[in-house]
Structure 1
Amino acid sequence: MSAYAVARLTDVVMGPEIVEYIKRIDATLEPFNGHFLIHGGPVERLEGAWSGDLIMIGFPNMESARAWYASSAYRDILPLRTSNSKGDVILIEGVSPDHRATDILNAVAA
C-alpha cells in the first residue's frame, strides 16, 4: 500500500540553510523511490483557515517512508529545515483505488 510523508510548514525562513535543504532532499528520496506529489504552491481555500505550505511525498509503502525519514542522508539535512521553519510532519498510509468512504465505518465498528 502506498504511503505518504505529509508536512504543513509555516514560518519558513528562505535563507541559505533552507536552500541547501531543498538542493539536497531529492537525493535522499531516490533510494526509497520517494517523489514529490505536492510541494507548496498557491492554494484555493474553500473552508476554514489555512496557513503555510503543504508538502506531500509519495512512497511505495510505509516501510520505505519510514526508512527514508530514518536514513542518515535525510537526518543529515533535517536540521536545515527544522531550524528554519515550524510545522507538523506525519507519515500516513494511502487507500486502495477501490476504497469508498463507507469503508471506514467497518473499521470503526470493529
Structure 2
Amino acid sequence: MPKGYWIGQVEITDPEKFAAYSEANQIAYRKYGGRYLIRGGNADVVEGSFRSRLVVIEFEDYETALACYRSPEYQIAASLRKAGSTGDVVVVEGYAGVQPEGVSL
C-alpha cells in the first residue's frame, strides 16, 4: 500500500506564532505517526518558484495523512500556522509502481 505525504511550502511571517505552531503540530503528528522527511534545510530552486521553507511529512498511507490533517488536534495547530505564515499544503498518495531499471531505494 502506498504511503501518504503532506507537502508544504511556507513563508514564515511571524516567527513567534510559527514556533507555537511547530510545538502544537507535534500532538497530531505523534497520534497519526507522521514522520519528517524534509523540514527546511538547503534548497536550490532549479525551476519555478519556491517559498522559503519546504516540509514533507510521511504517513502510513493516504487515508492516515488525510485523517491527520482533518483531525481536531491538527486544526488547532493549523490556526497557529495560518496566523504566523502563508503557504500551501498538499496531501498526496505516494507511488508504489514500477521504477526505472537499475534503481532501488
Same fold per superposition (TM over 0.5): yes
Q: Which has the larger radius of gyration?
A: 1
Deviations 1:45-86 (A, max 9, x none): 334443321001101111101110111111111111011111
Q: Report the identity percentage.
A: 26
5+ long unaligned stretches in structure 2: 101-105
Partner of 1:61: 61
The size of the alignment, in residue pairs, is 99
Which residue of the partner structure matches residue 3 of structure 2? 2
The TM-score, its normalising length taken from structure 1, stands at 0.79
The CA deviation string for residues 9-31 of structure 1, in whole angstroms up to 9 with x for no partner, is: 1143211x211111122221122
Tell me the equivalent position of 1:107. none
Task: Provide the TM-score with structure 2 as the length reference.
Answer: 0.82
